[in-house]
Structure 1
Amino acid sequence: MSFEAYVTVFIFVATIVALLRFQNRPGAVFGVTLLLLVASGLVTQQQLLSSIANPGLITLVLLIICSFALEKTRLLRLIASKMILKSYKATFIRLFSLTTISSALLNNTAVVATLLSPIRNNPHHFASRLLLPLSYAAILGGTLTLIGTSTNLIINSLYLDTAGQSLSFFSFTAIGCLLVVGCGGVLAFSVRFLPENAPVSDCSKGYFIDAKITEHSELIGRTVENNGLRNLESLFLVEVVRDGCLISPVSPSEILRQDDRLIFSGDITKVEQLAQFSGLKTFAHQNELTTANLTEVVVRPESILIRKTLKHVGFRALFDAAVVAIRRDGEQVSGKLGEVCIKAGDFLVLAVGEDFKSRRNISKNFIFLSGVETEVRLNGWRAWLAVGGFVSTVALAALGWVELFQGLVILLGCLILSQSISVNEIMRRLPIDIWLIVSAAILLSHALANAGVVGLLGDWISDGFDSNHVYLALIIIYFLTWFMTELVTNNAAAALMFPIAYSVALGFGVDVLPFVMTVAFAASGSFISPYGYQTNLMVFNAGQYKFNDFIKVGLPVSIVYGAIVILAVPYFFPF
């Protein structure tokens, strides 16, 4: 191999190692990969520009942006209202069916986020018996169409760049239907292994709330009981932090002092009760923010807050918001709110300032939960425009009458002109990470081809393996992609495995499409790890699951999923 080939292979391997080491920051890893490829001269300027402006990639970005307006309508909430019935069996069937159909056409993260609240608050069933099936149904629904999941669109972007043609809207549908039916049947059986965790009657119940007794407070010098702190509705005083020492449990006769931190647990919607006590200030009040308009978020795995405290990171300056409360399901949070180390999946309730919605770092650090985001909902003709425009665009693209790219450009223009979505919102929520991952992956494919690595791999396979081994190679590609998905997330796995699969197909001298589709489906097959797919992480905390719950329920689903893909791909896409 040439020197350029060795350098390219080194960058490729280093990217995989970095993804394993920094699993929560795939965008940053691929961004460094892109810089190394450009700095080393392994790709041309034209290849760099074509990678960044790849039509398939731009289509993916446009689709995500247009879905922002759709999330602000009543569509998903209407679906949620039809979901829960008294019978668990009937509820499971409706939940699975409506979620798969919705996820085939809409962003599956938005679908799960919208359905989280009604499922957690339902009066008939344990939320833990429904939330994991919700995530799995969203994943399976995403395999039905080209736009069902970002993974499919990423694979299409890479395929378009290498083969010069796009996958059709229904390329995934036949195998996707088999997966929905087969895995759905297994899931219906394996849900019996789900835990019956204590129901949560309110989406904010169990939050950890920190309030401080300030100077001249009426609470100073009086006992907890005399102050009436034992009689609050749905809030319970669990700890007092005084001079660095923790007092727990708190005795009714405990006399309170200035600068005591009172730690409450309970229903966050009742937090305004604390305002009745003179000189008792929450984090929000100390930062001159009101608690009348609260926003509930989940901390993303790639957030800059991970393993840092709110005090250390300067939360107010970063986000123009203050944390009113925090909840970490399955683990007790203790001590001062500002000194709690944040973890991925933590639920935070924020009191937000005027500049909060315009900050570009919000969507990079948090996942918004349904019903609490501060954005204005779309009603009337704007809601009809968002829903009707999106459905019409997708339908026309599916029928082949209009290019999806062209339809999304027109739809986005209409949404902006009608003020259904603002330019600030687009800039704030622009999916930079996905853009970086796909651009760098396309550029890496160009570098592998430029350095002759693709050709060398193809020659090695054609010389060393019999054509009868092509099916075995397909199976190996599936397992490698699936393994990387569980370790480094679906989008990163798809981006990295595509050039390998493409090279293997060329080496055997067969059609590349079976290998391309195998990578696409394998990259969506994350059922065992709560961290391999974003919807899994969302329900992991909300359902108070343990890692073993994913293994018990997800392993049989994963086995059936893999068997269907390995058997069906060669049938529908012959070598």
Structure 2
Amino acid sequence: MPSDQLLVIAIFLVTIASLIFTNARPSGIFAGCTLALILFKQISFDKVLDNATNTGLITLVLLLIVSHSIDKTAFIKRLGRAIVSKSYKRSFTKMFAVTFGSSALLNNTAVVASLLGPIKQNTMHAPSKLLIPLSYAAILGGTVTLVGTSTNLIVDSFLRDHGHPGFAFFDFTLFGLSAGLMCGLLLFLMTPLLPEVKAASAQFNSYLLEADVAANSELIGKSVEQNHLRNLPELFLIEVVRRNRVISPVSPDFVIQENDKLIFTGNVQKLENIEHIKGLTMFAEADGLLSENLTEVIISNRAPIINKTLKQVGFRALFDAAVVAIRRDGESISGKMGELKLQAGDFLLLATGNDFHRRDNISKNFFMVSEQKMPRKLLPWQEYFTLAGFVGTIALAALSIVPLAIGLLFFAAALVLAKVSSMSDIKRNLPLNLIIVIVGALSLATSLETSGVINTITGYTGPVLENMAPIYALICIYVMTVLLTEFVTNNAAAALMFPFAYGLVVSMNLPIMPFALAVAFAASASFISPYGYQTNLLVFSASEYKFTDFVKMGIPVSILYGSVVLTLLNFVYF
């Protein structure tokens, strides 16, 4: 074997070993791999740049950028609030249906991140009974369409690089839908095996927040339970003020009425989970100041406003600011915010006007603590525009009218023009680590092919492969990819295994499509390890699961999933 092939194999093995046995970030490992390939002249810098502008990678980046705008809408948040009910069977079914369906069109990691809070904070069922199924439902749903998971787009880019037209939008649907529904049923039957453990407690400072029920509120006439007000992530309804009477504790059967003041306590960073409820107005929102940037202050010990209420001091006019939330360390507070007597050391979260920092009375009353960036609530037309635009972009791609990458590019630009997103949002949400991983994996895969390593390996295995039935070759590729994806990232597993699958296809003179689909499905089949897929890691961090919990649930699901996919691939293509 020539020295350049040995060198590429060595870099390949070191990369795999580093991913499995070290705690280094995959982006750092693949960056080092790419630099080594360039240093030893196994790939040109121009080819690395070509990989960085790969159509599949660009499509993936655009999809992730657009997904962040989708996440700003109330759509997923409303679904999240409605998922959990008294019946575990109903909760599981709704959770699986919502997650599976949403993940077919939206980035499945973003879907899990949005639904994690309501499930983790629910008071009806142990979160551990729903969190692993949540992750698995997202993984399964992501395999139904081309855009459901980044893995599909990566394999699609490899196909195009090898002169193939690539995947059609629904090429995955028969296999992904069949495997997903069967695995969903198996998962429900296995739920008694899930542990009953509490969610890991989140660390945040609890503020008191007030929201008024307007005449057009969707909450009126329904109970707290029917309105899912107990399923708000890291926000808790502690009391209701009705006609100057404080009602606490608030029972699940308590019916909300017009002009009620709902008092919440919890994490102010989750404020958007209240804002998206129709007809619920935040205390500061009524003053027209609530925006993205909030200022946190502490009332000084010599402040003239001590022992006075917000109404008595005329807070809005005095400071050109409105109080969004109040926190008092070491003491619980309750009642209407406007009637609370302020004390020295109180933390106030303020929505400020343009004149706030120019007022000469600010330093006499407050110590500045920090500026906080809060998610901005979208206007109704912006929500409709975002959701309708995304559905339209996907539909045009599915009907082969407009290529997905071009549609997403123009849609992302439209979101900026509509002020749903901004250039700073795009910069902040640019998945740089993921880009480095994919470019590195593509570069390594290119080197394996151009150096002749793939041809050499298939040459050695040729005599064995000639007598092998296509289904057995397909099973080998699938199993090898599954084993790899449990130890490294799903995208890396797909990128590293595709060249071997392609070499096998060429040597056996077989169609490429079933093998490309096998690599894509197997790379997404990370059910056994909490570290192999992003959604698993999210739920693993949110609850006190053990590694064995994933092994116990994941092995049967993985076996059934693989069996269904391989059986259907064999039936359709061979």
Q: What is the TM-score when the length of structure 2 is the normalising length?
A: 0.70
The residue type paired with residue 44 of structure 1 is S
Return the offset for 1:207: 4.2
1:128 alignment counterpart? 128
The offset of 1:154, in angstroms, is 1.4
Question: Hey, what's the Cα distance between the residues in 1 that align with 2:524 and 2:329?
Answer: 46
Partner of 2:75: 75
Of 34-43 and 176-185, deviating more is 34-43
**Deviation at 1:14?**
1.6
Equivalent residue letter for 1:544: E
Once the two structures are TM-superposed, the CA of residue 275 in structure 1 deviates from its matched residue by 6.9
- Name the residue aligned to 1:247: none
Cα deviation, residue 441, structure 1: 2.2
Q: Distance in 2 between matches of 1:41 and 1:290?
A: 60
What are the Cα deviations for residues 282-335 of structure 1, in whole angstroms up to 9, with x where unaligned?
xxxxxx997849xxxxxxxxxxxxxxxxxxxxxxxxxxxxxxxxxxxxxxxxxx
The partner residue of 2:328 within 270, 273, 296 is 273
Q: 3-state DSSP class of the match of 1:13?
A: helix
2:479 corresponds to: 479
The answer on 1:514 being equivalent to 2:514 is yes
**Equivalents in 2 of 1:23, 1:175: separation in Å?**
34
Which residue number corresponds to residue 223 of structure 1?
none
Distance in 2 (alpha carbons) for counterparts of 1:192 and 1:138: 20
Residue by residue, what CA displacement relative to the aligned partner does 1:479-530 show, whole Å, maximum 9, x if unpaired? 2211111111212211211112221222222122222111111111111111
Q: Over aligned residues, Cα RMSD in angstroms?
A: 2.9
Matched, 1:138 2:138: yes
Counterparts in 2 of 1:152-231, with a 5 A limit? Answer: 152-198=152-198, 207=203
Give the direction of change, closer, same or farther, for the CA distance of 1:474–1:63 in structure 2 (3 Å limit): same
> 1:125, 1:495 → 2: CA distance?
39
| Aligned counterpart, 1:9 | 9
Whether 1:382 and 2:382 are equivalent positions in the alignment is: yes
- Looking at structure 1, the residues matched to 540 and 483 of structure 2 have their Cα atoms a distance apart, in angstroms, of 20
Distance 2:204 2:376 in 1: 28
Residue equivalent to 2:278: none
The CA deviation at 1:98 is 1.2
Query: Once the two structures are aligned, what percentage of the paired residues are identical?
Result: 41
Secondary structure, aligned partner of 1:410 = helix
Shift of residue 548, structure 1, vs aligned partner: 2.1
Q: Give the Cα separation in 2 of the matches to 1:208 and 1:147.
A: 35
CA distance in 2 between partners of 1:477 and 1:205 (Å)? 41
- Deviation string 1:104-136 (CA, Å, 9 cap, x unpaired) is 011111211111222123232222111111111
Q: Secondary structure at the match of 1:43?
A: coil
Q: What secondary structure sits across from 2:183 in the alignment?
A: helix
The secondary structure found in structure 2 opposite 1:562 is: helix
Alignment correspondent of 2:400: 400
Q: Distance in 2 between matches of 1:271 and 1:507?
A: 69
What do the CA deviations read for 1:332-384 (whole angstroms, capped 9, x no partner)?
A: xxxxxxxxxxxxxxxxxxx9954x86xxxxxxxxxxxxxxxx32132222222
Spell out, residue by residue over 1:388-438, the C-alpha distance to the aligned partner (whole angstroms, 9 max, x if none). Answer: 111110011011111111111110111112221111121122111221222
State the alpha-carbon separation in 1 of the partners of residues 438 and 78 from structure 2.
34
Please state if 1:99 is matched with 2:154. no
Shift of 1:45: 4.1
Contact 1:527 1:558 survives alignment (8 Å): yes
Contact 1:479-1:522 at 8 Å conserved across structures: yes
The normalised TM-score by structure 1 is 0.70
In the other structure, the counterpart of 1:409 is: 409
Amino acid at match of 1:272: R
Hey, what's the Cα distance between the residues in 1 that align with 2:544 and 2:396? 42
Residue 33 of structure 1 corresponds to: 33
Separation in 1, partners of 2:561, 2:497? 19
Q: Is the contact between residue 178 and residue 564 of structure 1 (CA under 8 Å) also seen in structure 2?
A: yes
Give the match for residue 565 of structure 2. Answer: 565
Kindly tell me: are residues 150 and 289 of structure 1, through their superposed partners in 2, closer, same or farther at Cα, counting changes over 3 Å?
farther
C-alpha separation in 2, matches of 1:116 and 1:423: 27
Is contact 2:180-2:561 (8 Å) kept? no
Instruction: Name the counterpart of 1:549.
Output: 549
Q: Secondary structure at the match of 2:328?
A: helix
In 2 relative to 1, CA 86–24 (structure 1 residues): closer, same or farther, beyond 3 Å?
farther
Distance 1:121 1:44, change over 3 A: closer
Residue matched to 2:270? none
User: 2:107–2:148: 8 Å Cα contact kept in structure 1?
Assistant: yes
Cα contact 2:527–2:555 (8 A) shared by 1:
yes
Contact 1:146–1:152 (CA under 8 A) maintained in structure 2: yes
- Residue 64 of structure 1 aligns with which residue? 64
Change (3 A) 1:352 1:552: farther
Q: Distance in 2 between matches of 1:33 and 1:117?
A: 37
Asked if the contact 1:467/1:508 (under 8 Å) is kept, the reply is no
CA contact (8 A) 1:393 1:404 kept: yes
Contact 2:155 2:498 in 1 (8 A): yes
Distance 2:540 2:440 in 1: 30
Q: How does 1:306-455 map to 2 (within 5 A)?
A: 353-354=370-371, 374-455=374-455
Tell me if the contact between 1:155 and 1:494 (Cα under 8 Å) persists in the aligned partners.
yes
Deviation at 1:43, TM superposition (A): 2.1
Question: What's the CA shift string for 1:65-97, capped at 9, x where partnerless?
Answer: 111111111010121133122211111111111
1:302 aligns to what? none
> 2-side partners of 1:389 and 1:436: how far apart?
29
Opposite residue 328 of structure 2, the aligned amino acid is: Q
Task: Give the unaligned 5+ runs of structure 2.
Answer: 207-263, 267-323, 333-344, 351-367
AA at the equivalent of 1:472 = Y
Give the Cα separation in 2 of the matches to 1:352 and 1:553: 46
Amino acid at match of 2:130: L
Distance 1:448 1:137 in 2: 34
Deviations 1:251-303 (A, max 9, x none): xxxxxxxxxxxxxxxxxx999331779xxxxxxxxxx997849xxxxxxxxxx
Distance 1:463 1:289 in 2: 79
Which residue is equivalent to 1:490? 490
Q: Is the 8 Å Cα contact of residues 328 and 347 (structure 2) preserved in structure 1?
A: no
**CA deviations over 1:219-260 (Å, ceiling 9, x no partner):** xxxxxxxxxxxxxx999xxxxxxxxxxxxxxxxxxxxxxxxx
Distance 1:72 1:20 in 2: 35
SS at match of 1:130: helix
Query: Helix, strand or coil: the match of 1:514?
Result: helix
Q: Are the structure 2 counterparts of residues 154 and 118 from structure 1 closer, same or farther at C-alpha, using a change threshold of 3 Å?
A: same
2:285 counterpart residue number? none
- Which residue of 1 is the match for residue 342 of structure 2? none
The aligned counterpart of 2:338 is: none
Distance in 2 between the 1:415 and 1:208 partners? 32
Structure-1 residue corresponding to 2:359: none
Larger of the two Rg values belongs to structure: 2
CA gap of 1:86–1:34, structure 2 versus 1, over 3 A, is same
1:206–1:385 distance in 2 versus 1, CA, 3 Å: closer
Q: C-alpha offsets along residues 451-491 of structure 1, whole Å, 9 cap, x if unaligned?
A: 12222223223234334244323222212211111111212
Report if the CA contact (8 A) 2:325-2:349 is conserved.
no
Structure 1: 5+ residue stretches without partners = 211-232, 236-268, 278-287, 294-350, 358-373
Structure 1 CA distance for aligned equivalents of residues 182 and 500 of structure 2: 29
Shift of 1:99: 0.8
**Cα 1:511–1:195, aligned 2, differ >3 Å: closer, same or farther?**
same
What's the counterpart of residue 336 of structure 1? none
CA distance in 2, matches of 1:160, 1:558: 29
Question: Residue 87 of structure 1 corresponds to which residue in structure 2?
Answer: 87
SS of structure 2 residue aligned to 1:468: coil
Contact 1:488-1:532 within 8 A present in 2 as well:
yes
> What does 1:36-55 align with in structure 2 at a 5 Å threshold?
36-55=36-55
Q: How many angstroms does 1:23 deviate by? A: 5.0
**Match for 1:273: what amino acid?**
R
